[in-house]
């Protein structure tokens, strides 16, 4: 059982129904501890205005989604990613985020060279760290499920993320999302390897059987096959005492419902299924 008072709303969970402003009000109304906005919703509301509303609502920010997308087919693309990531750090600072979540990018466009992607990701994070360390914004690598290796993230395991952290040093850690890592036989060993210092965020939802869409069919906690309490216990055994960020992309189900019902269900499932 997870403490529902430590729940954070990743705004993707109700993004079809609510604007960011409505998400902030909804979090306050349902006594969520925190929010984790996506940058497109942040831009729509205006960063300064959103920061003020979040502060006034008494919410913390478990993370900003997202920076990254480091891989590109040419120098101009790499430069564009670098500039955008610098802006993402500034936005994360403006809203007081605990970390900036990195979805690192897939195989460089037009190639079959995933190894080149890995190198671009490592170089991209290294370049970003020069600024993020100065301003004190932790970067959280989010390993994604391997089904996204081609187009979203070529870092797909906790081991790969830990290896990157070993080489990159201070200022970078990991966002553990149960949806992406639950299947990995090394998961628990790699959580121990990461330890308290590296675990910057903990995202929850569930893996449905069958999964009908690769992106937009995530389940509510308790509705799928992931042993979320076991993963939470492992993360907390390392000393992680941060927030439980609920992140559910669900075009057919949860995005079709009354968002207040979604919020209420999330809080109930924290007790029964997280
Ligand atoms: Zn996530």
Expressed in angstroms and rounded, the spacing between residue 84 Cα and the centre of ligand 1 is: 20
Q: What is the pLDDT of residue 179?
A: 98
The C-alpha angle with vertex 42 and arms to 46 and 52, in degrees rounded to 5, equals 60
Expressed in angstroms and rounded, the spacing between residue 247 Cα and the centre of ligand 1 is: 6
Closest CA to 204 of 112, 133, 266, 159: 266
Q: Is 110 left (phi over 0), alpha (psi -120 to 50) or beta?
A: left
Expressed in angstroms and rounded, the spacing between residue 23 Cα and the centre of ligand 1 is: 18
Expressed in angstroms and rounded, the spacing between residue 14 Cα and the centre of ligand 1 is: 14
Give the H or E element holding residue 204: strand 199-204
| Pairing state between β 199-204 and 7-10 | unpaired
Expressed in angstroms and rounded, the spacing between residue 93 Cα and the centre of ligand 1 is: 19
> Whole-angstrom Cα distance, residue 68 to residue 144?
12
Expressed in angstroms and rounded, the spacing between residue 203 Cα and the centre of ligand 1 is: 5
> Whole-angstrom Cα distance, residue 18 to residue 157?
32
Q: What is the pLDDT of residue 216?
A: 98
> Whole-angstrom Cα distance, residue 270 to residue 274?
5
Residues 6+ apart with CB under 8 A from 147: 214
Expressed in angstroms and rounded, the spacing between residue 205 Cα and the centre of ligand 1 is: 9
Expressed in angstroms and rounded, the spacing between residue 142 Cα and the centre of ligand 1 is: 7
Expressed in angstroms and rounded, the spacing between residue 178 Cα and the centre of ligand 1 is: 8
> Which class is domain 4-272?
alpha beta
> What are the residue boundaries of the structural domains of the chain, listed by start?
4-272
Expressed in angstroms and rounded, the spacing between residue 103 Cα and the centre of ligand 1 is: 9
Expressed in angstroms and rounded, the spacing between residue 80 Cα and the centre of ligand 1 is: 24
Q: What is the pLDDT of residue 79?
A: 96
Give the H or E element holding residue 89: helix 75-94
Expressed in angstroms and rounded, the spacing between residue 111 Cα and the centre of ligand 1 is: 27
Expressed in angstroms and rounded, the spacing between residue 204 Cα and the centre of ligand 1 is: 7
> Whole-angstrom Cα distance, residue 227 to residue 263?
21
> Whole-angstrom Cα distance, residue 130 to residue 116?
22
Encode the chain (274 residues) as per-residue pLDDT tens digits.
Answer: 999 999 999 999 999 999 999 999 999 999 999 999 999 999 999 999 999 999 999 999 999 999 999 999 999 999 999 999 999 999 999 999 999 999 999 999 999 999 999 999 999 999 999 999 999 999 999 999 999 999 999 999 999 999 999 999 999 999 999 999 999 999 999 999 999 999 999 999 999 999 999 999 999 999 999 999 999 999 999 999 999 999 999 999 999 999 999 999 999 999 999 9
Q: What is the pLDDT of residue 270?
A: 98
The C-alpha angle with vertex 221 and arms to 217 and 222, in degrees rounded to 5, equals 110
Q: What is the pLDDT of residue 35?
A: 98
Expressed in angstroms and rounded, the spacing between residue 57 Cα and the centre of ligand 1 is: 23
> Whole-angstrom Cα distance, residue 190 to residue 192?
5
pTM: 0.98
Q: What is the pLDDT of residue 37?
A: 98
């Amino acid at each position: 059982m997870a403490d529902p008072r430590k729940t954070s709303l990743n705004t993707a969970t109700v993004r079809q129904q609510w604007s960011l402003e409505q998400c902030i009000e909804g979090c306050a109304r349902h006594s969520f501890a925190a929010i984790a906005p996506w940058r497109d919703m942040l831009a729509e509301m205006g960063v300064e205005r959103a920061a003020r509303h979040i502060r006034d609502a008494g919410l913390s920010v478990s993370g900003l989604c997202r920076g990254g997308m480091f891989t590109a087919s040419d120098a101009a693309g790499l430069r564009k990613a670098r500039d955008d990531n610098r802006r993402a750090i500034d936005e994360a600072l403006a809203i007081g985020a605990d970390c900036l979540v990195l979805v690192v990018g897939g195989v460089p466009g037009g190639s079959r060279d995933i190894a080149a992607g890995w190198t671009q990701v490592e170089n991209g994070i290294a370049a970003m760290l020069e600024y993020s360390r100065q301003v004190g914004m932790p970067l959280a690598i989010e390993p994604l499920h391997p089904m996204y290796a081609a187009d979203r993230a070529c870092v797909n395991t906790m081991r790969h993320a830990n290896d990157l952290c070993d080489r990159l040093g201070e200022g970078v850690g990991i966002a553990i999302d149960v949806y992406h890592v639950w299947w990995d036989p090394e998961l628990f060993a790699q959580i121990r390897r990461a330890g308290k210092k590296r675990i910057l965020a903990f995202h929850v939802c569930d893996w449905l059987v069958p999964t009908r869409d690769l992106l937009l069919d995530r389940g509510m906690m308790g509705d799928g096959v992931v042993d979320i309490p076991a993963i939470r216990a492992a993360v907390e055994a390392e000393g992680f005492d941060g927030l439980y960020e609920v992140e559910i992309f669900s075009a057919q189900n949860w995005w079709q419902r009354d968002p207040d019902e979604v919020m209420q269900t999330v809080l109930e499932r924290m007790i029964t299924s997280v």
